[in-house]
Structure 1
Amino acid sequence: MIHTYWLETYGCQMNIAESNALELQLKGAGLVPSASAEQADCAILNTCTVRKSADNRIWGRLGFFGRIKKERPLTLIVTGCMAERLKEDLKDEAPQVDYVIGTNDKQRIVNILTSKDGKMDEHSQSYTFGSSYYQEGEFSSFIPIMNGCNNFCAYCIVPYVRGREVSRPVEDIVKEFAFLDSKGVKEITLLGQNVNSYHFEQEGEIINFPKLLKILAAQKHSVKWIRFESPHPKDFTSELVQVIKEERIIARHLHIPLQSGSTRILSLMNRKYSQEQFLSLINEIREAVPEITFSTDVMVGFPSETEEEYQETLSVLSHMRCLEAFMYYFNPREGTRAVAMEDQVDEEVRKRRLSELIAFQHAIFAEEKSKRSHAEVEVLVTQVSKHDDSQMLGKTEHNEMVVFSGSVEPGSIVTVRLTGLKGNTYNGMLV
């Protein structure tokens, strides 16, 4: 009989949100989290497969749990995107796995663990949104509003493992928003693989992403900031820019993936925008919301990328002036078009470009953060410092970490005067 579970989550924020929803269901069914992986009756791995490095980590964990199963009974479940990509072939490679559950079927896990014979119910053909993705005690929470992707970027496995785009009903999103507000959540992030392609028909009216933001902003609530990830530049309309300008609840920090600064490479990637269009978007946002800051995703070493095209990426990043960036070199994923493209860039060149990119971006981070190192900012207090219980930790609207002295209730919004910067964390004092 299964009483305890151990849940590990890999990859994106959507996976984190879906693990939160799964954990609510597990606890609702009477299961309790185990104190350690070694003691659990069941281990669940919610996997990512966007990059080979994620696969490698999961294979390592499967080996770990395989060793545990030789010593005592353990039910091992692999779910998420890697499970969707490999399906039942995963069991051939890792016979210690008991169940392989794809991205559309995570809700079946509770039935498997609570039925007497562990029988699986019928496979779901479409994605099902959970009723809640709340993690008890959190002041920052997620609301998935759409799933899947229709874009088929040449390097990306997501459309193959997440399926086509499907949008969550407006009514369900509004209900979840109100529930999180009642729980004292102060920061809500709307999630989707292509979040700003949200599209839902309600009573004959099409609700797009800007309209959804307006609906949420109009609710009576104490939520401080709404964020959203990840938008696609091609769907970032002037209507959306205007809503960000008008609705102060939308955080003045946007994650907008660049991927490459070269128009030719962007075309090969099937990104559907040019360097000029991307820069125009950044300028339009800055003109509408001067206090805005950015983060981005950027890839180097895509097939046939020249040194000059790599330099174009650095040029665009120099213009963006991001506070954060998720940087990586091209990593071929089986099943994507980029794997078979000609003129693959040598791995040593890819690694060298990434190393240079990281140093280049870190210099920008330091410059931009130093400009703000003595500002007065609002901070969402998240916890007491683990290193010094006389200090509190929090985050700003621009997603910056702040440590300051004082005794403040976590979940509070306070004003802090920044007094300096140590690494990526600001020091400050309560105003």
Structure 2
Amino acid sequence: MDLNTIESDDIGTAAGQPAVRATAAKKVFIKTYGCQMNVYDSQRMGDALAADGYTATDAIDEADLVLLNTCHIREKAAEKVYSELGRIRDMKAERAIAGREMLIGVAGCVAQAEGAEIIKRSPAVDLVIGPQTYHRLPDVLARVRGGEKIVETDYAIEDKFDHLPQPKRAEVIKRGVTAFLTVQEGCDKFCTFCVVPYTRGSEVSRPVAQIVAEAERLAEAGVREVTLLGQNVNAWHGQGANGEEWGLGRLLFRLAEIPGLARLRYTTSHPRDMDDELISAHRDLPSLMPYLHLPVQSGSDRILKAMNRRHTARDYLALLDRIRAARPDIALSGDFIVGFPGETEADFEA
């Protein structure tokens, strides 16, 4: 999926005068790989770049800045990035011959996992920025224009959401009546097959007030369906105004009170974090859609243990019974890994 971004004029000075001369607008092309959170992150990167004077383009060869927002969940996805970088490198060389600059950036989970190795393999890349630091994009780009090659993958001390500009209302309207909203990032489960704890870090939950404010802005701009996102979204926790501890179920009840929000969804969940209050939300909230994606990965307890899933097949089936009892019309989906190392025919048939 390709996501675009934003446009404005650069302002120059002439002969030391404060008067200005309009120059060509800077254009950015963002290509997004992978999950819904990457789509959300690309939109927020676009918002940050809009505030820095960039405009969107659908044409990669017109872009002054090309950003690849990458996925590292599978090896093939990572290799696709290097293939794409080879193609963009040739475009960059052609633009340089014509006297036009093209900066190349790699963001997302491949950036976080491989860091400076990306520039070693693809020297045409100007910047590498991880998913926790993309709020620094304008500052990083200023350093790149000064001749540096930047790798910015340290986990930020500051909350990136406190430093990201809000999207313009017109931009939200253009995106349509559905929207993603990240409420939680990272994972502490350390399943043996999964790279997420190493690319997205440990579990971090956004504050209640921050989430509610963003949801209210989306609703005011005409959004009618919001999907809450997290690598392990039902591990979200926060504090209400009175200091009371909230889980995702309580948050959904609060978001359901926002005028205009007709439909709520969330993804992706872990069976171990599916608590009673969240199940009750499926029973009691008409706006919470009757759908749940709940990965199980294997029906074999031996393989589940090898995966470090910390639940059994029986635990999972009992949980499904509780969910269906609360919401009989719910649609369920899941993920299964076939051919996990050591899996036997008996494990497969379990």
**Aligned pairs (5 A) from 1:18-417:** 18-72=41-95, 73-113=101-141, 117=146, 125-126=156-157, 128-129=160-161, 130=164, 132=166, 135-137=172-174, 138-202=176-240, 203-219=242-258, 221-312=259-350
**CA–CA distance in structure 1, aligned partners of residues 94 and 286 of structure 2:** 56
Aligned identity (percent) is 36
Mean alpha-carbon deviation: is it higher for 255-264 or for 126-135?
126-135
Normalized against structure 1, the TM-score is what?
0.69
Q: Tell me the equivalent position of 1:6.
A: 29
Q: Is the 8 A contact 2:292 2:331 kept in 1?
A: yes
**CA–CA distance in structure 2, aligned partners of residues 121 and 296 of structure 1:** 36
**CA–CA distance in structure 2, aligned partners of residues 34 and 287 of structure 1:** 49
Q: Partner amino acid for 2:344?
A: T
Q: Deviations over 1:377-400 (max 9, x none)?
A: xxxxxxxxxxxxxxxxxxxxxxxx
Q: Is the 8 A contact 2:64 2:102 kept in 1?
A: yes
Q: How many residues align?
A: 311
Alpha-carbon RMSD: 2.0
Shift of 1:144: 0.4
**5+ unaligned residues in a row in structure 1: which ranges?**
313-431
**CA–CA distance in structure 2, aligned partners of residues 47 and 61 of structure 1:** 11
Is the partner of 2:134 in helix, strand or coil?
A: coil
Q: Deviations over 1:231-287 (max 9, x none)?
A: 111111122111210111100011111211111111111111110011111111111
Q: Tell me the equivalent position of 2:18.
A: none
Q: Deviations over 1:359-381 (max 9, x none)?
A: xxxxxxxxxxxxxxxxxxxxxxx
Q: Tell me the equivalent position of 1:330.
A: none
**CA–CA distance in structure 1, aligned partners of residues 173 and 305 of structure 2:** 44
**CA–CA distance in structure 2, aligned partners of residues 201 and 171 of structure 1:** 9
Shift of 1:206: 1.1
**CA–CA distance in structure 2, aligned partners of residues 230 and 300 of structure 1:** 20
**CA–CA distance in structure 1, aligned partners of residues 110 and 213 of structure 2:** 31
Shift of 1:118: 6.7
**CA–CA distance in structure 1, aligned partners of residues 343 and 231 of structure 2:** 25
Q: Partner amino acid for 2:130?
A: G
Is the partner of 1:300 in helix, strand or coil?
A: coil
Q: Is the 8 A contact 2:129 2:151 kept in 1?
A: no
Is the partner of 1:77 in helix, strand or coil?
A: strand
Shift of 1:121: 11
**5+ unaligned residues in a row in structure 2: which ranges?**
1-9, 11-24, 96-100
